[in-house]
Amino acid sequence: MSTIRGLLRLAVLAAAIGVAFAESVTPPPPRSLEVPEGALVAPGKAAELELMFTGDVIGYIEDCGCKLNPAGGLSRRAWLLNRLKLNYPGTPFVLLDSGNFSDNPTEAGEIRTQALLDAMVSMGYKAVNVGDRDLTLGYEDFHKRISGVDMAFISTNIVKQGTNDTVFPSSTVVEVKGTSGKPVRIGVMGVLRYSPVWQKAGPEGTNLAVAQPAEMIKAVLPELRAKSDVVVLLASLSKEDAHELAKQFQDIDLVLGTYGGIYNAVEENEGRVKIYYSGNQGKRVGESRVNFDAKRKPSDITTYMHFLTARYPDDKPMHDVVAAVTAKLPKGDQPEKPQVGQKIQIAPPGPGGQ
What pLDDT does 331 receive? 78
- Contacts of residue 30, Cβ cutoff 8 Å, sequence gap at least 6: 266, 267, 268
What pLDDT does 85 receive? 98
What pLDDT does 16 receive? 52
What pLDDT does 350 receive? 39
What pLDDT does 38 receive? 86
Query: For residues 23-33, b (16+ Cβ closer than 10 Å) or e, as one string?
Result: eeeeeeeeeeb
What pLDDT does 342 receive? 40
Distance (Å, whole) CA 84 – CA 89: 8
Start-to-end CA span in the chain (Å): 66
What pLDDT does 288 receive? 98
Are 187 and 175 within 8 A, CB to CB?
A: no
* Predicted TM-score of the model (pTM): 0.88
Distance (Å, whole) CA 266 – CA 27: 14
Residues in the chain with pLDDT values less than 70: 1-25, 332-354
Domains along the chain? 49-329 (3.60.21.10)
